A = this chain, B = another copy of it.
Amino acid sequence: MGKCEQCIIKQFNSLKSLTKDELVRISNCKTSYTIKKGTVIFEEGDAVNGVYCVKDGICKLSKLSENGKDQIVKMVVKGQLLGQRSLISDENSNLQATALNDMEVCFIPKSEIIMDLQKNPKFSFDVLKDMAHDLREADDIIVNMAQKSVRQRLAEALIYIHDSFGVNPDGTLSVLLSREDFANIVGTATESAIRVLSQFKKEGLISTIGKQIKIESLDGLKRIE
């Protein structure tokens, strides 16, 4: 099994602020495993007793609403930490995490991380920065949900996914989502999301190869009012 001290993934998240000794300690109690596409990693209401360091793959964080829809609030990709918040607030999770790909993760038990949070101010300040960033992102999402049309929100979702998670060699978005997932990101009915995507296709803003989506005109999408 790999060692945290030597793991390159940690460069991309707060774990980089841990000392060598701390990393060695964590390395000894972590469990590293793979999660199959579609697996629910934790559910709403679950006690999440640790943090997942995502070595590969992507998962979605979503919340079930009363009308049966599953609003996607955030996506966590390679390099990021999953389950930070529940850990800190000492409450059960308010979100469900589901793997969108096959994932490779390391699970670090809560007790270890809490210890470091309490002893290493640099680490805890780093986590704080991460969280401040998430909060800022959440504010933007609130404003978008409240003030923009489905068409605008979907265009922005495509741009976001393109810019944040990148594209395959053939130019298609590297994160493969169902139309339902898109609807759940944007907060609309699946049919509406499908309709808008079809429209984008007609307008030449995107093209599709099966489920895969390729952005043909990033500028065009950005210009949508």
Determine the interface band of chain A, counting residues with CB < 8 A from chain B.
35 or more
Known: A118-B121, A128-B117. A69 touches B147 (CB 8 A): yes
Copies per assembly: 2
Does A211 sit within 8 A of B, measured CB to CB?
no
Contact of A85 among B67, B73, B122, B135 (CB under 8 A): B135
In the complex, chain B residues whose CB is within 8 Å of the CB of A129 = 88-90
0/1 interface trace, chain A 94-131, chain B, CB 8 Å (1 if under) = 11000000000000000000000111111011011101
Contact of A88 among B91, B132, B146 (CB under 8 A): B132
Contact of A94 among B71, B125, B136, B145 (CB under 8 A): B136
0/1 interface trace, chain A 67-84, chain B, CB 8 Å (1 if under) = 101010100000000000
User: In the assembly, what is the distance between CA of A123 and CA of B68, in Å?
Assistant: 40
Question: Which residue in chain B gives the minimum CB-CB distance to A65?
Answer: B147
Question: Which residue in chain B gives the minimum CB-CB distance to A153?
Answer: B146
18 pairs, CB–CB < 8 Å, chain A vs chain B: A63-B139, A63-B140, A66-B147, A67-B147, A69-B146, A69-B147, A73-B142, A85-B132, A85-B136, A88-B132, A117-B128, A119-B121, A121-B121, A124-B128, A127-B128, A135-B138, A142-B142, A145-B145
